[in-house]
Structure 1
Amino acid sequence: MPKDARATRDALIRAGAHLFAAHGIDAARTRDIVALAGQANDSAVTYHFGSRDGLLDAILRAGVTRMEPARAAALPGLRPDDLHAIVDAVVRPTADELRTPHGRDFLRITAQLAGRAGIRDHRPPPVLHGTALQQQLHLLETACRATLPEPIALERISLFIAFLTAALADRATRTRPSGTPPSVPDHDTFTTDLTAMLTAALQAPATNRLPATNPPPYL
């Protein structure tokens, strides 16, 4: 790719991430993305990415790629019987995105997409295919299914993703424009506590209660 084209793509990715995070992936205007990227032609997004969805996909792939080295390094040490270690390996690289402006934009975008992770029907989005994150999520499912029925395990992992992305997006939003995060708790304490909370939620005993087929008339 020519150097100028690469620079334009990078500028559009940064601008798109910022406005998708600030205004929402559906509400952000393409013309504003193009202007923020310093481009004069409103068709720049279509030219470089094919569509707004193509731009969003590029933003998500950039974020996943940033985290891949840390995830890949953690994979060999993970065992299906150590749920806490698996959760920590999922959470920590994601939480480290809080350290940079583009990372915080990425987190605010992923919170909007948490319901599209495809966990419940085993249909992860293409951006996860072949990644260390996909392997981590497979380990997480294996660990949960060791103690939970499959539907409950998948539901919990879906909610795990929703809670994780919401918590990180909230902290990203509360981080000052200067990059100064909330002072309490500090980053490491926040990440450790978030990991503990999510592990505990996944380990909660499954309920065996079923809805009554013939409830009393007064219920």
Structure 2
Amino acid sequence: MAGRSRRLEQVSATREALLAAAEKLFAEHGVHEVANRQISAEAGQGNNTAVSYHFGTKIDLVRAILRRHAEPIEAGRLRMLEAVGDSTDLRDWVTCSVRPVTDHLESLGSPSWYARFIAQVTGDPALHAVAAEEFKTASPSMRALQDGLNRCLPHLPAEVHAERAAMTRHLITQMTAERERALADGQPTFRDSWSATATGLIDVIVVLWKAPVTREP
């Protein structure tokens, strides 16, 4: 029994090492530029087949990394949504979009690679759909968030709402990736903390949602 327990611990530790190594390399170089043997080497594994043994395909590995971070982000968003309740203040709902992500990034310390990993994956046409599917599955709170935004902005046409939701995602993804990269490289950042970064993003995104809708002639 003790031997089985140790074996399970070893398997878990190996998986975690491979996930961390893959996240770092994917963030720095892009998913398609990294070979499984490079991930194994970064994780300190002598077996070049370790990635395929533990995860299967590279897409499966990407999914595993996404799920690794989805749980704490979702938990944070659910807590914020509970506090917001039935608010009709747009800023409350935008905060629920932004702060679960920045809070999680702060919890990772520095250097971290998650924000840059997300930027790589969502910017890749072959992986964008994978990420979208994982976010939808792992984050049921996003439906409540969408409903809250709809209540605050009932005049927005559905297609404009969808467009501005996409703009919101891009802003969060790119600005957090830029800050994460600057921190890792020891470069100056626009704001002195993740919390302040969230505040700046929220300020801009609130204005984005409130922008007029101009119809083409």
Q: TM-score range by the shorter chain?
A: 0.7 to 0.9
Runs of 4+ with >6 A deviation:
none
Quote the residue 1:32 is aligned against. Answer: 38
Cα deviation, residue 117, structure 1: 6.4
TM-score (norm 1): 0.82
Q: RMSD of the TM alignment (CA)?
A: 2.6
The 1-side partners of 2:95 and 2:58 are apart by 33
**1:69 to 2:75 alignment:** yes
* Partner Cα distance (1:6, 1:111) in 2: 27
Letter in 2 for 1:93: P
Distance 1:137-1:109 versus aligned 2 partners, 3 A rule: farther
Name which of 99, 103, 109 aligns with 1:96: 103
1:163 to 163, 171, 174: 171
1:130–1:80 distance in 2 versus 1, CA, 3 Å: farther
Secondary structure of 1:208's aligned partner: coil
Shift of 1:114: 3.4
Structure in which a larger fraction of residues adopt helix: 2
The more displaced of 22-31 and 108-117 is: 108-117
C-alpha contact (below 8 Å) 1:141/1:157 kept by paired residues: no
Shift of 1:112: 2.4
Query: With structure 2 as the length reference, what TM-score do the two structures score?
Result: 0.82
Preserved contact between residue 19 and residue 33 of structure 1 (Cα < 8 Å): yes
Q: Which amino acid aligns with 2:150?
A: T
Of structures 1 and 2, the one with the larger relative CO (CA 8 A, separation 6+) is 2
Aligned equivalent of 1:46: 52
Q: State the AA in 2 paired with 1:151.
A: E
| 1:18–1:133 distance in 2 versus 1, CA, 3 Å | farther
Tell me the amino acid that sits aligned with residue 55 of structure 2.
F
Q: Which amino acid aligns with 1:67?
A: I
How many corresponding residue pairs?
204
CA 72–117 in structure 1, closer or farther in 2 if over 3 Å, else same: farther
Query: Structure 2 stretches of 5 or more lacking a match?
Result: 1-6
2:25/2:39 contact within 8 Å kept = yes
Q: CA deviation at 1:167?
A: 0.5
Q: Counterpart in 2 of 1:186?
A: 192
From the superposition, tell whether residues 117 and 150 of structure 1 become closer, same or farther in structure 2 (CA, over 3 Å).
farther
Once the two structures are TM-superposed, the CA of residue 69 in structure 1 deviates from its matched residue by 2.2
How far 1:165 moved relative to its partner? 0.2
Within the alignment, does 1:129 sit opposite 2:129 as a pair? no
| Identity between Structure 1 and Structure 2 (%) | 29
SS of the counterpart of 1:59? helix
